[in-house]
Structure 1
């Protein structure tokens, strides 16, 4: 990850502007970037409590993917088939848009579009793999392909591979390099970026900080996993922690065994999500869920490190790739919160009456989705009539999470039950029905 960057100066005092953006992660910075492109005369202020990319934007698995938290069938049920297809097409194009901006703005973030390989390592996982491909095909996305055991293993040399799925719609990136590079580009375009400036409250036309109030016609909330820290938003987004480890640079002989020759990102079809990539400098970066949710939607740097989860990740790497040994050697370990809405649905919107705008609820798939959000917010704010503002997530409002202690009990019970479902499937090879029940309860 590298050391934190030198902080830019904080807000010098109360100011007025056209658009105030709270949060200098991907959502806030992409929004500022596209606003500056569409109307360079706009006065845009970005407020960040720590430094640009401090949150999940700088600490994620480096998947710039076209994944959506809501499945295509779920989107089609809510909004219709054509809307679901348009949304997925927009996400597919977003991966290329991020690559285009990185090239145009000379952001060196190791962007490489090698796609994603998702392997199936049990009969139950193979059944889910086949269903995934069938679902995409039913909406016309035939490029998402089912892999034989041999084809899947040639891409990812994991143990017990029975088959898999490949999608071309993903690029591997170095996330901290992308977010910090984007911050520099935005600042060079005239956007005022103030770091070390926490926002203590939002209200129509104003973002309040300890250093003064920023008044603006539009105030954008781009706080994702840190949203619950704002007054009035405690139950809007639950911060759920995802943790990662990285190996030292591996020799070519080890990579010959592991694969990922085209720097594909990778996962499998277990229920408790894992994810990984081959970095440009030859490391294996690997992460997963399983860290506990903390009471009251609390967020703390101390929660970034859960020794038991780091140990489990190392053991999982050893089980996937015996060439790494039973417990993989690691050189780095870190974590952070991602944002989960009650209905597992991302959204973007602008309330014209109050001037409050928002985007988030990416459920861990925000690297690409935040770019689409930034472009959509820019069009909404400037009143641009575009296909983006017609997408089905625009204006969506997720219902609030349950009050405590129900929220704490429910989320942590779901995490434990999900892990239990994976263990049951590993023993029996049969699908664990409890996992479907958990998903319906949590995302309902």
Structure 2
């Protein structure tokens, strides 16, 4: 089994050819920090809208080194952090428009891939989430009822037998499905998108570590850049910037990928339409069937490293690998003898209120987007189009969405940050174990953890 090496996605595609490193003092119209999905989508839409702009992307390692090249490949319409807080602050119509924008974003990514000839293994089969104990089933049914009260969600309830006909995961009591999702190969998407922005004239500099962002200026190891606009697109690595230690918590997420599974398994599993697969556990899993017939499945593992430290190249502890293997085998007992080919990890950006944000400070020229909490494959595209409009000074439907310039308080200082995060995920794990023994109600342990995290 390969452990680390960034991700299975990069291992299959091959590490990208190194790009030039930036040195010295330079001036650009727009300087973007981070060559993941946020930075690349922003550059793509900006350069298309204003071809004369001089745009540079500065990346500390290489394109897609962070979550953009390591995620579960879920292109889905989720509003990060849910709708409730926006319903309170902006009203129902604004939230409806936000959901429509997220639905459209899934289609927009598919459209751009077709237009730019990016083969990212996209298969648009929707999102399929299962419940396999009574407490999960109660949460799932409540979720479906709530989702169906909104106009643009498209969520359907599938009872156990019907659910098994779509994906035959062991013990499924009920499932929720909606059409606004697709599976992708993340490294293929980030690689193709980087080529697309370079063909438009955007410059990407790698191995160029930005250390500080200020008003119309940034500093990196080896020089400085001045720009009319500076876009912070650093997601889980934001804590490494001076003054940003407590802005977004870098949450670890881990994955494993099996060897290619044979036709008999897939015939029995009924998993054939490109659905992305999740569950209603508190420490939830996420999975996809890859284009070469593997299962790639992920979960939280060791959630956080003291001091907001980030990983190096995706090395994953054995306890996490074993935990993911157990989840896989519980869902699909036929995989008990399947070889695990790869394990890897990455970091997500988590705001204190679990809500993503995009915004611009016109006084300093600093724009930002992130805090996706794992929903960034689609949300980064919406962020890129929104940042385009903010940079160009346009007032549009996108800049009116309720997440624009959303403010959130910082995380607590250490050791409180580590104690809280580690303790809370231990509590969620305990709640899952309690619920697995029966009972139709969500564990009181999980309710308490939700209150502490700010999810309720």
Q: Give TM class, smaller chain.
A: over 0.9
1:269 corresponds to 2:255 = no
* Gaps in structure 2 of 5+ consecutive residues: 1-8
Structure-2-length-normalised TM-score: 0.95
CA contact (8 A) 2:82 2:355 kept: no
Q: Deviations over 1:29-75 (max 9, x none)?
A: 00000001100000101000000000000000000110122222332
Partners of 2:452 and 2:270 lie apart in 1 by: 37
CA contact (8 A) 1:359 1:373 kept: yes
Match of 2:297 in 1: 286
Match of 2:251 in 1: 240
Task: Choose the corresponding residue for 1:133, options 124, 141, 144.
Answer: 144
Partners of 1:273 and 1:286 lie apart in 2 by: 11
- Offset at 1:436? 2.2
Q: Structure 2 matches for 1:266-415, cutoff 5 A?
A: 266-301=277-312, 304-325=315-336, 328-415=338-425
Match of 1:14 in 2: 25
- Offset at 1:175? 0.2
Task: Choose the corresponding residue for 1:43, options 44, 54, 61.
Answer: 54
Task: Choose the corresponding residue for 1:103, options 100, 104, 114.
Answer: 114
Partners of 2:348 and 2:153 lie apart in 1 by: 31
Stretch moving more, 69-78 or 279-288: 69-78
Partners of 2:314 and 2:353 lie apart in 1 by: 24
Match of 1:119 in 2: 130
1:212 corresponds to 2:190 = no
Match of 1:250 in 2: 261
Match of 1:167 in 2: 178
CA RMSD, Structure 1 to Structure 2 (Å) = 1.2
Task: Choose the corresponding residue for 2:438, options 414, 428, 436.
Answer: 428
CA contact (8 A) 1:318 1:328 kept: no
Q: Deviations over 1:170-196 (max 9, x none)?
A: 010000000011011111110011011
- Give the paired residue count: 443
- Offset at 1:422? 0.4
State the secondary structure of the residue aligned to 1:348.
strand
State the secondary structure of the residue aligned to 1:331.
strand
- Offset at 1:384? 1.6
State the secondary structure of the residue aligned to 2:168.
coil
Match of 2:71 in 1: 60
- Offset at 1:130? 1.2
Stretch moving more, 46-55 or 75-84: 75-84
Partners of 2:454 and 2:204 lie apart in 1 by: 35
Partners of 1:89 and 1:139 lie apart in 2 by: 11
Name segments (4+ residues, structure 1) moved above 3 Å: none
Partners of 1:69 and 1:437 lie apart in 2 by: 21
State the secondary structure of the residue aligned to 1:250.
coil
CA contact (8 A) 1:116 1:169 kept: yes
1:418 corresponds to 2:428 = yes
State the secondary structure of the residue aligned to 1:106.
coil
Task: Choose the corresponding residue for 2:101, options 90, 97, 109.
Answer: 90
- Offset at 1:303? 6.3
- Offset at 1:139? 1.7
Distance 1:365 1:304, change over 3 A: farther
* Gaps in structure 1 of 5+ consecutive residues: none
State the secondary structure of the residue aligned to 1:390.
coil
- Offset at 1:228? 0.3
Stretch moving more, 287-296 or 55-64: 287-296
Structure-1-length-normalised TM-score: 0.98
Distance 1:5 1:303, change over 3 A: closer
Partners of 2:399 and 2:152 lie apart in 1 by: 23
Distance 1:437 1:328, change over 3 A: farther
- Offset at 1:114? 0.5
Partners of 1:5 and 1:312 lie apart in 2 by: 31
CA contact (8 A) 1:243 1:304 kept: no
State the secondary structure of the residue aligned to 2:210.
coil
Match of 2:5 in 1: none
Partners of 1:69 and 1:124 lie apart in 2 by: 23
Q: Structure 2 matches for 1:162-201, cutoff 5 A?
A: 162-201=173-212
Q: Deviations over 1:372-415 (max 9, x none)?
A: 00000000000122100000000011110000000000000011
- Offset at 1:328? 4.4
